[in-house]
Structure 1
């Protein structure tokens, strides 16, 4: 339902209230469609949150049982990587833990050293090379992309200035926390020799079956 006041008037994008008779039928229908879908999306989101919490709890609960079996102390912190598989190996649940990386001020010094190297090697002529490397230092949402920064270390460059810059990057790394991810996999059709495929729970990554595919499943 749209946001209405005590007189039944609809609030518009400017925060003003107007009489519904002044709203075209297509705009009223659009409002109805969006309101209905958003309400449904919130329900699905809450179910996914509850499912995720339950999945973590059950995985770590199983690990606790294993610890008891081997007379190991139970730990209250529910963290760490976990891989569980069903008996025939056609289904798997994985918990992976990624480190959250930040950089201190030494990263700026590393960039200065890289700029020095680029100026020396290109003499300011090859802008494309400079762009490819310095793009890693672009700031988005107030921070740099750690993966882009660390990818510079894979470049096979042996120049002393470059090596000094990579050493500065190593020194600039700070671990600010961890983030756990849970993933679900299965072998389609239950074949024991098939490859494990991710069960996609992200709406953007889901494919809607075609009519032909639906007919094949009947």
Structure 2
């Protein structure tokens, strides 16, 4: 087992100091082994998912190239766009979607100032909820604004000159920094022809897990540990 960073048999603590194993509490040793084992497993899973993702993209794009050959079309060397492939009975589906990566230049700050001018002028007649949605669109998270929310401002049917000026500034501030491709896998519930199409969740954090499933595995672990302790 890897355990904590060890030098000459001593364990490294959070401050970089090395301690004799006898100075490390047993529960901390067990915790260290548990965390390193789980993180190690997560890294293995991450590598497997990355390899699968690369393979899935490659196979989908290779299929599109095969179709081009069938119709005597020249192979396009640039990235393939959106792709939707379905199983013969339609119960399984693979989708590749291409999203634009949108960034904004300094004119976005000017657009925000112009919108503030509009809000100051119209506060007494403007719905409070709409005003909140407008101001939230400019919230910065992880150093960036949400491009969808900024672009979404253009959907409001507001004809005031200051608002129109702000929307024009947003148009001028918008830049396409590139594209990002997403691949998703779907299947119909129960593989039934009329079942609803459901996305196969591959995001570990979003993967649904039932409490009773966790408890069952936990009970098995405790039972296994009991047998092991008994042998000792």
TM superposition score normalised by structure 1: 0.90
Q: Distance in 1 between matches of 2:180 and 2:166?
A: 28
TM alignment of 1:100-179, pairs within 5 A: 100-122=101-123, 130-179=131-180
Aligned to 1:73: 74
Aligned to 1:18: 19
1:40 aligns with 2:47: no
SS state of the match for residue 54, structure 1?
Answer: helix
Q: Distance in 1 between matches of 2:197 and 2:136?
A: 35
Aligned to 2:52: 51
- Give a deviation string over 1:140-192, Cα, whole Å, max 9, x none: 22221111211211222221211111121112110010000000000122111
Q: Distance in 2 between matches of 1:48 and 1:117?
A: 48
> Gapped runs of 5+ residues in structure 1?
none
SS state of the match for residue 205, structure 2?
Answer: helix
Aligned to 1:197: 198
Bigger Cα displacement from structure 2, 99-108 vs 134-143: 134-143
Q: Distance in 1 between matches of 2:92 and 2:123?
A: 53
1:206 aligns with 2:210: no
Q: Distance in 2 between matches of 1:12 and 1:48?
A: 32
Q: CA 1:111 to 1:191, structure 2 compared with 1: closer, same or farther past 3 Å?
A: same
Q: Give, in angstroms, the shift of residue 139 of structure 1.
A: 2.2
Question: How many aligned positions are there?
Answer: 210
TM superposition score normalised by structure 2: 0.85
> Gapped runs of 5+ residues in structure 2?
217-232
Tell me the C-alpha RMSD between the 2 structures.
2.0
| Residue pair 1:96, 1:180 contacting (<8 A) in 2 also | yes
Q: Distance in 2 between matches of 1:13 and 1:41?
A: 22
